[in-house]
Amino acid sequence: MISQLWAGVTWEDVYSWLFPLRDGLRINVTVTLITLLLGLPLGLLLAITVQSKSRLITWASLIFVEIGRGTPALVLIQFMYFGLPQTGLTLSSFTAACLALVVSTAAYTSEIIRAGLQAVPGGQHEAAQALNFSTIDELRFVILPQGLRIALPALLGFAILVFQSTSLCFSIALPEILSRANEIGSMTFHYFPAYSLVGAVFAAICIPGSIFVGWIEHRAGHGTQR
């Protein structure tokens, strides 16, 4: 059955497909990096502001987080690309994809980071108060370093999910790797081999990444036990 699906595909064909797939993969990686570079700091900010003493700031942050978490990434991508132009704001497919994934990433990572901050032992807070640390200094030198260390494995795992989510950008014609595979399939009618290569690329990146995250989590667990 599998051999029939690959019938008519030569090694020369596969080799020629690697170049457009490589170019598409670069866009996936670029979108992932931009999303993480913007989404993680915003997520950190939201994790802090959600616990603000100002009810206005707290509620504004909570609304952003709940919208970002409650709306599927695909819907956000479609909204940014097809919905915003009706308000007079037209974005390129690349910008729309990055903006949508940044919103989603910030919302989810804010909860991951907040959980990490809340997991810091209460004794650390008491020690900071005993040393007359200000609220900002306590957050900067005591709570954040430990909380982020606790949250690191989950954040790394989410980074893998962000990379996988970039395939959703296919829906707005961003020329990422899945779009390139679809182009190859439409020209050659070899959809199964083309999509199989895309799946292999994602697996080759995400499986080692997941193993690395597990290793980090294991080390973090041992560090906590000590």
The model's pTM is 0.91
Domain that holds residue 83: 2-225
Between the alpha carbon of residue 210 and those of residues 109, 158, 202, 205, 216, the distances in Å are: 17, 10, 12, 9, 10
Summarised one tens digit per residue, pLDDT across range 46-82 is 999 999 889 999 999 999 999 999 999 999 999 999 9
Residue (of 115, 103, 112) closest to 67 by Cα position? 103
Fill in the DSSP letter of residue 168: G
Ranges in the chain, pLDDT < 50: none
- Residue 19 to residue 2: CA distance in whole angstroms: 24
CATH number of 45's domain: 1.10.3720.10
* Domain count within the chain: 1
What pLDDT was estimated at residue 207?
A: 97
Between the alpha carbon of residue 182 and those of residues 7, 58, 162, the distances in Å are: 18, 44, 21
